[in-house]
Amino acid sequence: MATNGHSGDPPTCNHGNHEAHNGSNGVDSNGVHGPAASPSLLKEKTEKEKKEKERFSFSQETQTPSHGNHDNQHDHGAHNGSNGVDSNGVHEPLKKKEEEEKMEKKEELARFTFSQEPSFEEVRRLQAQFTDERDWRQFHRPRNLLLAMVGEVGEVSELFQWRGEAAEGLPDWTEPEREQLGQELSDVLIYLLELAAACHVDLPRAALRKMALNRLKYPASKVHGSAKKYTEYTD
């Protein structure tokens, strides 16, 4: 249940009618377009631009954090003698790296992926426009947004309740059920982005920093195939 109609599209202006009201293709005797010459429209446009500039916004682009060991891979040859070449003339580290890359590509092809667009910032901007048009920003304070998001998480949980474990891709779900799930998950995401913006947290970059920390907490060589918490591992 969306409490603020997130699926609503922002209204668009009917520019096609400007000419009919201004004559001569919408240009007055001074060569000024009729709508642009209106002080009220100019004031409204200025106020909208000012509001948008005052809003917190997310980063448009992010840089993927380094995995930490890639910088050292080029030095392997020095530790294997004869520039890292075996008796058959094959660079062992290079061969191993190629095999790992092939495996990663194979696994990635099997994964579900999101669309490249829109970005988090674009979703934030569209939702900000939606709330401004309805004068709802006064209600969208951090605490209210958090509680609203928790309520939407509950509605997502309700869709999974009493169904048992679900397989990846939800093959047993009907299209209407999947559509409803998409709507409820969207409500959660929208509230999450609004909450982050209200708290001035640049969520895309914060997520990358968190993933970099997780790599340190859970090194693959130590936790591979295990679901234990990082505090349960010993050096």
Average pLDDT over residues 168-174: 95
Average pLDDT over residues 26-41: 55
For 186-232, the pLDDT digits (tens) are: 999 999 999 999 999 999 999 999 999 999 999 998 889 888 888 88
Chain CA centroid to CA 2, Å: 19
pLDDT band at 80 (very low <50, low <70, confident <90, very high): very low
Question: Helix and strand tally (H, E) in the chain?
Answer: 9, 0
Average pLDDT over residues 85-114: 72
Helix/strand/coil for 27: strand
pLDDT band at 125 (very low <50, low <70, confident <90, very high): very high
Residue 171, amino acid: P
Extract the tokens encoding 179.
């559509």
pLDDT at 8 over 50: no
Helix/strand/coil for 59: coil
The Cα 176–Cα 186 span in angstroms is 15
Q: Provide the angle, in degrees to the nearest 10, between the axes of the packed helices 39-54 and 120-133.
A: 130
Which of 75-84, 94-103, 155-164 has the lowest average pLDDT? 75-84
Does this model's pTM top 0.85? My answer is no
pLDDT at 165 over 60: yes
